[in-house]
Copies of this chain bind each other. A is one copy, B any other.
């Protein structure tokens, strides 16, 4: 669509942050923002803001700034968030339960549509009003409910098998929360969220400044 070359991962993460700030600014009736405003609200430098946006074209008016709503709309389009996405969570344990109730998803266009588990005590019940289906119906339900993305929230020992099932069902984007690496074929987008690794950023910096 827009991109001709590889955009750094960190830029994508920052675009997410910028879009949240722009949405807030727009809601507050702030029609124009500077790269300085965006930078201050998101904890980066103004030069970084300009560099991140420059990957995607020319925005704003020199000496004036950016139109909040226009830039918001454009970034949301870059992030693929000009449409809603349907998500399946695999694993109705503590993490699956937490994710199914997480308030931050819906407001960004993510709908948790169904949950899968292999525990007979959970199957047929609901979590946050979302149906829990047996794992062996994954392929059928993913197709029927037109699921776009899968979230792996099962123990490490089951993670690779679940990843294979999601890919087999035609899912092209997966987030893995299990504390283990899983592999998928090349055309599938897989992202691992390693909760312990998040803590290791803290300990690294605390160690450094000790």
Contacts and interface: CB of A to CB of B under 8 A. Distances in A.
A145 interface: no
A104 interface: yes
Given A189-B205, A205-B173, A110 B13 contact: no
A114 to B, nearest CB: 16
Interface residues of A, number: 63
Interface in A108-137: 108, 110
A168 interface: no
Interface in A168-210: 172-175, 179, 181, 187, 189, 191, 193-210
A11 B30 CA distance: 37
Interface string A14-46: 011100100000000000000000000110000
Across chains A and B, which 5 residue pairs bring their CB atoms closest together, nearest first?
Answer: A104-B179, A80-B207, A80-B203, A173-B202, A94-B98
Interface of A: 1, 3, 9-10, 12-13, 15-17, 20, 41-42, 78-81, 85, 87, 93-95, 97-99, 101-105, 107-108, 110, 148-149, 155-156, 172-175, 179, 181, 187, 189, 191, 193-210
